[in-house]
Amino acid sequence: MISGYRLLNWLKTDYEDKKSKGSINHAIYSSAVNKWGDEVINSLKGIFPTNLEANQFLHPKSSLSVVQADTDDDYKAKSLRIRLADILRGLNEIKDSLSKYTDMPLQKRLYVEDIDSFQKVRDINPALVFDKLGKNGYFDKSEDIVQSAIEKILAEPFHKKDWGGEYNDLYTSNLQINGARRAAAFLLKGNGLKKEVLEIGDCGKNGDQIVRLFETPADIYIIQFVGNISEAVIKDVDGKADQRIAKGNSTNYCIINGQDTARLLTAYQII
């Protein structure tokens, strides 16, 4: 918003200066507005779960009918300034609409598409990654590749080295859901497991990695594996989420199997 108002003020002052010198260049003004507009659209798409707000930004209520000018140059300059002012008013209304998303109740179990930070995966349906999967939906990638990819997507600068006693494989506060940042703890499993289905006994040397994961101070717990994740694991995670919720803790969880892992890395062009 602030950058938009700065741009509007620059359009006014620079036009007056260039007009007195007879050196007006409307293409420069249009280019500056278009560049700012592209940045805003990218931001809106990163915040909201649909393109509705981006489309509203591009099509605000217009005040162009009030433009009056004596020369073609004045008309172009005034039209651009009025359109920018219209867009800024509309953008302020869009900002106020954010609450309708942040107030939406979340289901306990989330899917990868529900996470704003992973929104590009919404454009990758399962059929698009079918050829990247092996037998029974196995996505033959290492844990380190997957972890590095998720860190890159989330702009998480800290890379945690894997060791047997960790509470989680990745911890970040950069995850966004419904436009709000959430603390997230990940349990990651790659092709080092050498099996197609993740069972509770595969989660840590003593099968207690899920227990330790839920001891992490987080809002959302994400279990990822490059193959299938057993129903026993999902049931166990669901029960632990219920226990936290019963104590008044905000808790969600997400299960990312091999297919969804492939979709995620494909969406962000990491594979």
- Distance set, CA 42 to CA 5, 31, 34, 176, 264 (Å): 18, 17, 12, 15, 19
Q: What is the pLDDT of residue 97?
A: 66
Residue ranges per structural domain of the chain: 2-99, 105-267
Model's pTM, two decimal places? 0.62
Contacts of 230 (CB under 8 A, 6+ apart): 197, 198, 199, 200
Of the pLDDT bands very low, low, confident and very high (cuts 50, 70, 90), residue 142 is: very high
Instruction: Using the Cα atoms of residue 106, residue 107, residue 113 and residue 115 in order, give the sign of their dihedral.
Output: positive
Token code pair at residue 10: 């620059």
Q: Over 90: is that where the pLDDT of 112 sits?
A: yes
CB of 170 within 8 A of CB of 151? yes
Give 165-196 pLDDT, tens digit per residue.
Answer: 688 999 999 999 988 899 999 999 999 989 99
Q: How confident is the model at residue 73 (pLDDT cuts 50, 70, 90)?
A: low
Residue type (1 letter), 239: G
pLDDT tier for residue 99 given thresholds of 50, 70 and 90:
low
Residue 225 pairs in a beta bridge with 189
